[in-house]
Copies of this chain bind each other. A is one copy, B any other.
């Protein structure tokens, strides 16, 4: 079907790589393994342990978000998302993929009267202070996104914004400029929402940050800037249905996970590059980076053995990174797979005019288009990497629209769960970030927490 995401993995296999890469036989064996992986995932899903699978089927949420977004659209010309990590990356990915480029620079008409959108995914005061100084708070809505309601970065942003809102709009007016996305029952944000009558949308309890883009976390900001969230969810549902099969060759998420896992464990390629050949798809590679790294990078396997496992995801952009990273990808160690991400149709194209018929180095470009050039560069880079014996595959979207992006997001989320099963790690936890959080609390003097044991740097090992 023309509307379906396509995965071409010819260049992962030895016949195209001069003997390097995976053998078709290894893939056949992996198809057997995949049946068991698939059965296990279906079982955990049926047991309610994989709540993100249900998000595209949440019928009641979409009208609620739509209603809120329609109302807010009348009152606000700027939306600011306060969140970090899984509360920010998905929203940024949707916005970059599906809104017009340079969105915040466009005038109201060019934005179809949808609001500007800022995602504050950090706590750098030199970014946040000038932004807050510049915004008209009376026309700005702040969406505070935190599952737990206690994320330090988001809490700090919230306290600063709340103070400004109260000073500008008074104790009565400020709450209308806030909407929380948080746990439906627990946590500081939920409690504040109740006590101060602030609008709040739920994040289903079993859905972790990096699997939350298709919940209110991503859907509310997306709807606010006019993205077709119904089509996004329809695409996700279509991909989910496609992945109900345990036949590996027909299951794109299964193939992606299996190929990456085999490349890592059988061919030593533990660095997984996702290289978007489209400015619009680049932020999806950043979103994927969290999904893959935080889900699979684990000290213990599911049997409790210390394994220090996990592939390293990298985001890259074509054609740009041909002039930065492809030298390493082509000639460096055989430790990488490259997954190209592209779309059959770009949202628009630009013809390259004929000029300088006497200049051989320019003449050949005339009559082509920028889209053709970009596509040619992708095909040439894929072929060149294969010639160098480098495993690569291509995810091809039919076009860059909400339905296609929904398919992609769901495919990569499901692939992450399959990969967790293949690597024998729990893809849903992140115990390795606790120590850093606790030490931060200690440094800030939070009750009951200690700062890092004070070891002054040895001056012999500091160059000043």
Contacts and interface: CB of A to CB of B under 8 A. Distances in A.
A52 B225 CA distance: 46
Interface string A312-327: 1010011110111111
A3 to B, nearest CB: 11
Contacts of A7: 462-463
Interface in A259-297: 270-271, 278-280, 289-290, 293-294, 296-297
Given A160-B352, A327-B433, 4 more contacts: A85-B320, A88-B320, A209-B323, A380-B439
A457 interface: yes
Interface in A90-122: 100-102, 104-106, 110, 121-122
Nearest to A27: B461
Closest 8 CB pairs of A and B: A85-B323, A297-B328, A380-B439, A364-B446, A297-B332, A383-B452, A290-B324, A330-B432
B436 A324 contact: no
A403 interface: no
15 contacts: A9-B462, A15-B458, A101-B130, A123-B373, A125-B350, A155-B361, A159-B355, A192-B359, A297-B328, A298-B327, A308-B333, A322-B433, A327-B433, A365-B444, A379-B452
Interface string A181-217: 0000000100110000000000000000110000000
A84 interface: yes
A222 to B, nearest CB: 19
A149 interface: yes
Interface stretch (A32-40, A60-68, A69-77, A245-253): A245-253
A388 interface: yes
A126 B155 contact: no
A74 B270 CA distance: 53
Contact of A9 (B314, B372, B461): B461
B125 A369 contact: yes
A430 B326 CA distance: 9
Interface stretch (A41-49, A228-236, A341-349): A341-349
Contacts of A152: 365, 373, 377
A26 interface: no
A366 interface: yes
Interface in A108-161: 110, 121-132, 134, 149-153, 155-156, 159-160
Contacts of A12: 461
Chain copies in complex: 2
A341 B13 CA distance: 40
A360 B350 CA distance: 56
Given A355-B162, A380-B443, A370 B123 contact: yes
Nearest to A155: B362
A376 B443 CA distance: 6
Given A290-B325, A294-B324, A349-B125, A440 B380 contact: yes
Contacts of A150: 361-362
Given A332-B312, A364-B441, A353 B163 contact: yes
B327 A293 contact: yes
Contacts of A23: none
A131 B105 CA distance: 10
A29 interface: no
A444 B327 contact: no
A334 interface: yes
Contacts of A132: 350
Contacts of A460: 249
B435 A330 contact: yes
A147 B331 CA distance: 23
A173 interface: no
B323 A279 contact: no
A350 to B, nearest CB: 4
A335 interface: yes
A356 interface: yes
B10 A457 contact: yes
A447 interface: yes
A455 B7 CA distance: 17
A299 interface: yes
Residue picked from A9, A374, A380, A381, most chain B C-beta under 10 Å? A380
A142 to B, nearest CB: 15
A255 interface: yes
A309 interface: yes
